[in-house]
Amino acid sequence: MSPALLGAVILLGIQTFKVPRISTLLMILAACALTASTRWARQFEQSKLHTQGGRYTLHALLVGAPMLLFGAALARWTARVGAPWQDTMGILVIVGALAAVILNRRVPSIIIAQGALWAGVSMTGEARGNFFTLIVGGLVAIYTSIRQSRADREAAQRDAERQRAQLRAEEILHEYEQTGQGWFWETDRRGQLVYVSPTIGKLLQRKTRDLVGRSFTELFVPDPAGQESERTLAFHLTARSSFSELALRAATQREERWWSVSGRPIYDSFGNFVGFRGSGADLTEKKRSAEHASRLAHYDSLTGLANRFQMSQTLEKILSAPNMDHRACAVFLLDLDRFKQVNDTLGHPAGDALLKQVASRLVRAVGESGRVGRLGGDEFKVILAGHHRRDALAQLAKRIIHDLSEPYLIEGHRVMIGASVGIAMAPDDGVSSEAIIRNADLALYAAKDGGRGRHHFYAADLHSDAEERRQLEQDLRDAITNGGLELYYQPVVHTSTERITGFEALLRWNHPERGFLSPSRFIPIAEDSGLIAQIGEWALRTACRDLAAWPESVRIAVNVSPLQFANPALPAIITNALAAAQVNPERLELEITENVFLNDDDGTEAMFTALKRVGVRLALDDFGTGYSSLGYLKKAPFDKIKIDQSFVRGATIAGSRNGAIITSIVSLAESLGMETTAEGVETLDELDLVRMLGCSHVQGYIYAKPLSRDQATQKLYSGLSAIAKGPRAARAARQTMLRKVVLDHNGQHYHGTIRNLSTTGAMVEGLWNVPPGTIFRIILAEGQTVTATTRWSQEDRMGMEFAAPLALDEGGRIAVVSQMAPGARLRNTVLRRDN
């Protein structure tokens, strides 16, 4: 500032051709000296001044004093020589502007400098008239300076906090990299690495600087089981789209390692693509655990064969093939003869060893022509895909029986067993897995009845529908008389606490010949034959008796059919059951379907009044699937609404309106003071959704399958906590169809046929040996075009993944399907994943 002050004096001297007096000149030199001493003053402040008041005083001295002296000096000089004030004012304005520039946005200092400069001018005789105005302006300036100082301190504090947060984040990320929990990467627009965490170089046994400039894909190696992820990575890098948690095999040499890799494209301020940035995490242990868990879930731990679940999936896959010709298969059900005798005489270890040898022989006998699985105990299943002649199947069955009947050497003992085989063929003996297994089972029992050690094909005369229903009715009567029915209990879990609050009693019938029968098979027979009242009363008494042995906080829910509800003696039956078991009525919950309101009359309302007088709780079961009127909710005193599993299933699929329906039901229940239970929750995604939507209770396989009384009792005494276990998500629904489409690849048009379609992809037939990764534009209908990438190809079929999911219509169907031409052949068969 000193040169600026001297320059201003020289400029005024040139304009006036006058030399200032000694006193004026001394004031100017003092002002220049004070401004020139700033460097030493700062050192003095840092070393000597530690109080805020001292710093403010020094600040005013170094900024305000020189400007005050300079302003007073120029005003006195102008007044003495009689120079025009406008010239002096211009010089003062220039000096003030230079001071503001030099002080660089330091508002308090600028205000002090400007105020002092013009205060000095006001001290002369000619300018004293403005002194009052200057004082007022000074006060305003001081107030503004104080506020600005406070704002500057707050801004500085925020900057400091932001810098500390940024430094902390950098330290955390560095620690995250160093501990090996994860790593980071960045590429340029050509896909070449510009940064990768040093830990990756150590794992790959390469220097980090050598990896920079190399292709990002060189960090990974092809793997037969991971080709899908590798193709997906190439697709995302090419399409410049974000990706998340792709499982990729690392290019390590000594050991097999897997990484979960995520990334997103980055753009500059002009919107130009500059590369990718992302992170990775070690997936090795998680993948090993998942593979182990998958093997346990799909394979028998004793024999290594496919288990019941895996065999069911295989059969379902064959029977649901898009091409009718591919739905043919033959199913063998095998049962070992005299196996129980071996178990009883030699012990279970010997029985296990025998089962291993049986499995080995069975695999050798079947060879590559079919798949062998163990259902449990001494039951085995063989599935042979495709069409087969009966004589060829008979020869295979004879060979299996012969091989399994050869002597075994178990722990030094020579063991002889046999085998019986029941055979059913699709589609001749059924088109569903239930029908095929049932008929193969009937054939197996026929083989056993024929003397064991033989095979038998299913035939219609084994069991006609009428005979089966008649026999089932008779067997049901015997079961009621002989105690053949039993109750299983499925836990009902509180969503927020994940504690068991009660059970739903589910009727089970373990048929002496057919095993456990679904209630959907014998309940209609019971209702038609009038046995439902007897079964219902037995269920109520049994449930109350079991409930009496359980903790007081646990409730039990029992289903009441419309026929039971119409019985005027129902309240007395319930009162009798509660009294006999000495159970608090509030612990019993009756589940009633909407069908009881079809005959909504005075008797229905009177029944509700009588039941509430007993003190039991009432739950509306399968809400939204039956009688559609909501008027009954005004009169029926329900304590709970049960959301049917049809609303839960598929609610997590993008575009589904099931979530909105669940939200509405929960809101309705809350406004009426009722609890809600979401039924049929089988995946973790469904559990998260119903919990987020506010359902108070959850029931489904995600927590437990129905338990026997002993299992339920054991679970209660081990604690009321429930742990959710199950798959993360269900597979997207598909629709099978025969739809001619046009595929566009680089301007070339090809004709194909869609065999099945989902929101995320399709299977197309008609193009041979298409390389994976090939991108097509599929013209589904007029104005309906989607971009898809080939993921696999086999002969004239290929699986394609859409670049974006297809939208669903109001009914939850794929919108583009409903817009297709009416002449298209569409069967709308939804294939659901078997959970």
Instruction: Please write the tens of the pLDDT for every residue from 319-373.
Output: 998 888 889 999 999 999 878 777 766 778 888 999 999 999 999 999 988 999 9
List, for residues 96-121, the tens digit of each pLDDT value. 788 877 877 676 777 777 777 777 77
Q: What is the pLDDT of residue 53?
A: 65
Element (H, E) at 476: helix 465-482
The pair of structure tokens assigned to 268 is 């500059």
Strand boundaries in 318-439, DSSP class E: 329-337, 371-376, 379-385, 408-410, 413-415, 418-426
CA pair distance 374, 382, nearest whole angstrom = 9
pLDDT over 70, % of the chain: 86
Higher local confidence (pLDDT), 463 or 607: 607
The pLDDT-based confidence of 451 (bands split at 50, 70, 90) is: low
Please choose, from the candidates 716, 724, 725, 726, the residue with its C-alpha nearest in 3D space to the C-alpha of residue 502: 716
Please state at what angle helix 570-581 crosses helix 532-548, rounded to 10 degrees: 30
> Bridge-partner residues for 376, per DSSP?
379
Higher local confidence (pLDDT), 442 or 534: 534
pLDDT > 80? residue 179 = no
Q: How far apart are the first and last CA of the chain?
A: 82
Segment 572-576 mean pLDDT: 94
Look up tokens 């005013």; give the residue. Answer: 60
Please choose, from the candidates 249, 369, 380, the residue with its C-alpha nearest in 3D space to the C-alpha of residue 310: 380
Q: What are phi and psi of 401, to 5 degrees?
A: -60, -40
Q: What is the pLDDT of residue 221?
A: 83
CA pair distance 752, 742, nearest whole angstrom = 6
Q: What is the pLDDT of residue 126?
A: 54
User: Do residues 708 and 486 touch, judged by C-beta distance below 8 A?
Assistant: yes
The pair of structure tokens assigned to 595 is 């069908």
> Bridge-partner residues for 539, per DSSP?
none
The pair of structure tokens assigned to 606 is 């009177």
Please state at what angle helix 519-529 crosses helix 532-548, rounded to 10 degrees: 120
CA pair distance 65, 73, nearest whole angstrom = 12
Element (H, E) at 277: strand 273-282
The pair of structure tokens assigned to 11 is 């400029």
User: Do residues 755 and 741 touch, judged by C-beta distance below 8 A?
Assistant: no
Residue 498 DSSP one-character state = -
pLDDT > 90? residue 574 = yes
Q: What is the pTM for the complete model shown? A: 0.39
Q: What is the pLDDT of residue 81?
A: 72
Query: What's the length of the chain?
Result: 835
| Alpha-carbon distance values, 63 to 89, 104, 644 (Å) | 20, 13, 79
Q: Looking at 82-130, list the stretches that DSSP marks H as alpha helix, in order from N- to C-terminal side.
A: 85-103, 107-122
Lowest mean pLDDT among 79-83, 258-262, 740-744: 79-83
Query: Is residue 175 packed enough to be buried (19+ CB in 10 Å), middle (13-18) or exposed (0-12)?
Result: exposed
Amino acid at 832: R
Q: How many helices (H) and strands (E) does the chain have?
A: 27, 28
Please choose, from the candidates 675, 657, 595, 656, the residue with its C-alpha nearest in 3D space to the C-alpha of residue 628: 595
CA pair distance 223, 737, nearest whole angstrom = 33
Q: Which residues contact 434 (CB under 8 A, 6 or more apart)?
A: none
Q: What are phi and psi of 163, to 5 degrees?
A: -65, -40
CA atoms within 13 A on the CB side of 539: 29
Please state at what angle helix 2-16 crosses helix 52-81, rounded to 10 degrees: 10
| Alpha-carbon distance values, 786 to 524, 756, 757, 819 (Å) | 47, 15, 12, 14
The pLDDT-based confidence of 508 (bands split at 50, 70, 90) is: very high
> Bridge-partner residues for 757, per DSSP?
735, 762
Report the b/e string of 532-565 with b at 16+ CB within 10 A: bbebbbbbbbbbbbbbeebeeebbbbbbbbbebb
pLDDT > 60? residue 226 = no
Query: Sign (positive/negative) of CA torsion 42, 44, 47, 51?
Result: negative
Please choose, from the candidates 570, 542, 355, 326, the residue with its C-alpha nearest in 3D space to the C-alpha of residue 426: 326
Helix, strand, coil content of the chain in percent (nearest 5):
50, 25, 25
Q: What is the pLDDT of residue 56?
A: 67
CA pair distance 542, 552, nearest whole angstrom = 17
List, for residues 791-812, the tens digit of each pLDDT value. 999 888 999 999 888 877 665 6
The pair of structure tokens assigned to 100 is 């503001």
Q: How many other C-beta atoms are found inside a 10 Å radius of the C-beta of residue 415?
A: 20
Mean pLDDT score of the chain: 82
CA pair distance 378, 445, nearest whole angstrom = 14
Query: Is residue 165 packed enough to be buried (19+ CB in 10 Å), middle (13-18) or exposed (0-12)?
Result: exposed
Segment 273-288 mean pLDDT: 88
Q: What is the pLDDT of residue 366?
A: 93
336: helix, coil or strand? strand
| Alpha-carbon distance values, 667 to 629, 638, 655, 672, 674 (Å) | 17, 15, 21, 9, 10
Lowest mean pLDDT among 8-17, 119-128, 196-205: 119-128
Higher local confidence (pLDDT), 116 or 706: 706
CA pair distance 16, 80, nearest whole angstrom = 11
Q: What is the pLDDT of residue 262?
A: 92
User: Do residues 735 and 749 touch, judged by C-beta distance below 8 A?
Assistant: no
Strand duo 640-643 + 617-623: pairing: parallel
Element (H, E) at 643: strand 640-643
